[in-house]
Structure 1
Amino acid sequence: MRLVMQPDKMGSYAPEDVVFLLRDISNVSLELNNEKREQLIQSGTHYSEMLPVEYQPSEAYMALFYKTLDAYAKRIALAVGIVAEQIVARQGLEHLVLVSLARAGTPIGILIKRYIEMRYNVQVPHYTISILRGRGIDETAIQYIFAEHPLARIQFIDGWTGKGAITKELQQACEHFNVNNEEQLDATLAVLADPGHCTSIYGTREDFLIPSACLNSTVSGLVSRTVLNLQFMKEHDFHGAKYYKELEDVDVSNLYIERVSAYFEQVKKEVEQQISKQPQSPVTWQGMKSVEAIQRELGIANIHFVKPGVGETTRVLLRRIPWKILINPKYANELEHILLLAKEKNVPVEEYPNMSYACCGLIKEV
């Protein structure tokens, strides 16, 4: 009999929307400013051992968040529906368990769960677990899910793909798990946007702005990014995260879910039409070819310094030390929030048409 650990209750979402399989480490001080974190990361400290200071958006930036949410809510609802239908077709409903990758996957997982409920009148279990580049998936969380749902068909969910690092990490982690356990995991990742061409379950391959990429914890249930630091955490426990209760006044996590899910009924027909005519286009890792070309042309030493796509570029501006931002002029009118952040932080912006992404963030070597 396997001893099953219990996670901490955390996050500002309703428990029927998602259960975070995480250990609450709110009492530990881990936040470092971006300069200090960048130096540590570039000298070999793993990013999961510390946290960035939560970016507090300016009024202009929040106004832009609301504006983009209004502009994109229906487009997101459509992508959510397309992904939800693909998941149901692949996994069935009987033993389906949605598992989103903390934290960008969490709001997307909730939206997919709600779409399935609207469409099939079934409440599918939904959990959020941690995955860390170079450190794999939280296997304690996976064991918990199988203890709760012995026949679970787990579907992993994330927000978007960049160059596919997490997609590859997930594949390796599932292989490792499957060799050592009777239960088996399917490593196929479902995402709203797959501009990197790294997965077969996606809402769109267009690199478009998913507004939940614009903010940090305040659009992800007030939960920090996940932490694995054995100086103060037990081995074989859940990965950790902080719950920023003090940000409740500026939390838009549930507002985001409500705004998007309000369009579900409206997009249902279009979802069916798109599903019926969507060709199964192959996984080509095309995005990685763009990244390698950028690395070559600009003489960038480390491929990890190239962060392609709207979601990843936003993160570079919020959490890292950017060197410059590349913009694909074809998408220029959709990148208002990137341009505003770059201006706020004095980061140079250059046009670069020759990539499969709308934009790309380049990290400064420190």
Structure 2
Amino acid sequence: MTIRIPRQPIPDPLPMGSYSPQDVIFLLKNLNGLIRETDLKTRERLIQSGGHYSEMLPIEYQPGEDYLRLFHQSLRESSSKVAEAVGIVSEQILHRNGPQTVLVSLARAGTPIGVLIKRYLLEKRNLTLPHYSISIIRGRGMDENALAYILQQHPNYKLQFIDGWTGKGAITKTLQEACLDFEQKYGYKLDSDLAVLTDPGHCVKTFGTREDFLIPSACLNATVSGLISRTVLRKDLIGERDFHGARYYRELEAENVSSLFVDTVSEQFKRLDSEDLWNLRPEKPEVTWKGQKDLELIQKTYGIGDINLIKPGLGETTRVLLRRLPERILVNNPDNPNLKHIQLLAKDRQVSVEVFPGLTYACCGIIKQLP
């Protein structure tokens, strides 16, 4: 199918991030020296007063030694479980799309998961699939220049979008809307299927598990995602033919565990049987948006005006504690071992942890409403 892009071909990206280009190519514009981070209180006030989170960057949270020890411990304890989920997702992707597939991870939480899926398919299926990481922004859509570039480089390939986990499904919905918008603009139909390792919100059909377990890469920010910041879309920084932007934190190289994470999980692939993993897949997974009911109850219970201030699941709750101003953390079972890092972060930031029985998710983070 010919894509109707009414402009010149998109130029090749410049090298970005700490991963090997054999693992992933970031389709992002390097904003080093062009944008400065905003402190948490200022950023939160700007967002809640109508500013968009994609127009500013948070200061990267630097965890203490206790927290880093917890990351390494969780990586050791869960690497085999993460590897199994990667395998289940990878087998589904291959059976659905075939070998002519481009892996398209959503920066930045999806990037290490895309790297793992690429490595799994190489090791277990002897397939070398291209893998790019691109920007998607809630309320702004997907990077159309990045999509155009991928389609120019890989005509007649299918695109498989990848993220780490689902929360309430905001990115799932943004992806669906972006794919429809892209088809209307350019006459090219994209498959909006989103593959994730964990789907506690019951938002997607391609997943490794619906258990809300801890993916160690959720514990950290740039230092487990190729030293890349959150993505940025601002008119004064991003031109008409630019990719969305991000910072490359070279100064954090000494703390970088991006390779450690993917290497540790990849080491477990040799113990997996591909056919067994295929048989572990859910045969007829239903998308019920089950988690949405939890959020509506929480919203009513605590009188929260904007449902976007509720961030469900281990991955999203971790991010609330790392880069937002949390008001409280809700947990289903305080004895859940997956909550160790949540408890530690909450203590560090002096945030209360409350039991909310019956949650679909292991936990939810509630962002403080500012006056």
| Same topology, TM > 0.5 | yes
Give the ranges of 4+ consecutive aligned residues of structure 1 lying more than 3 Å apart after TM superposition: none
Q: Does 1:13 align with 2:19?
A: yes
1:144 corresponds to which letter in structure 2? Y
Q: Tell me how far 1:141 sits from its aligned partner.
A: 0.2
8 A contact 2:9–2:149 mirrored in 1? no
- 1:311 aligns with 315
8 A contact 1:32–1:53 mirrored in 2? yes
8 A contact 2:330–2:354 mirrored in 1? yes
Q: Does 1:227 align with 2:232?
A: yes
- Provide the rounded CA distance (Å) in 1 between the counterparts of 2:134 and 2:193: 16
- Provide the rounded CA distance (Å) in 2 between the counterparts of 1:43 and 1:85: 44
Unaligned runs of 5+ in 1: none
- 1:279 aligns with 283
Q: Does 1:184 align with 2:210?
A: no
Of the candidates 19, 22, 25, which is equivalent to residue 28 of structure 2? 22
8 A contact 2:312–2:365 mirrored in 1? yes
Of the candidates 129, 151, 171, which is equivalent to residue 124 of structure 1? 129
- Provide the rounded CA distance (Å) in 1 between the counterparts of 2:360 and 2:334: 11
SS in 2 for 1:87: helix
SS in 2 for 1:109: helix
Alignment of 1:255-274 (within 5 A): 255-268=260-273, 270-274=276-280
- Provide the rounded CA distance (Å) in 2 between the counterparts of 1:78 and 1:18: 21
SS in 2 for 1:97: strand
Q: Tell me how far 1:226 sits from its aligned partner.
A: 0.2
- 1:245 aligns with 250
Q: Does 1:42 align with 2:21?
A: no
8 A contact 2:334–2:355 mirrored in 1? no
2:191 corresponds to which letter in structure 1? D
SS in 2 for 1:354: coil
- Provide the rounded CA distance (Å) in 1 between the counterparts of 2:369 and 2:210: 30
Q: Does 1:213 align with 2:228?
A: no
Q: Write the deviation string for residues 61-112 of structure 1: whole angstroms up to 9, x where unpaired.
A: 000000000111000000000000000010001x200000000000000000
- Provide the rounded CA distance (Å) in 2 between the counterparts of 1:310 and 1:357: 8
- Provide the rounded CA distance (Å) in 2 between the counterparts of 1:35 and 1:133: 21
SS in 1 for 2:86: helix
Q: Does 1:83 align with 2:89?
A: yes
Q: Write the deviation string for residues 154-185 of structure 1: whole angstroms up to 9, x where unpaired.
A: 00000000000000000000001112224321
Q: Write the deviation string for residues 186-233 of structure 1: whole angstroms up to 9, x where unpaired.
A: 001000000010000000001111110000000000000100011232
CA RMSD of aligned residues (A): 1.2
Q: Tell me how far 1:331 sits from its aligned partner.
A: 5.9
SS in 1 for 2:360: coil
Q: Percent identity?
A: 55
- Provide the rounded CA distance (Å) in 2 between the counterparts of 1:331 and 1:290: 20
- 2:295 aligns with 291
2:206 corresponds to which letter in structure 1? I
2:339 corresponds to which letter in structure 1? L
Of the candidates 336, 343, 350, which is equivalent to residue 340 of structure 2? 336
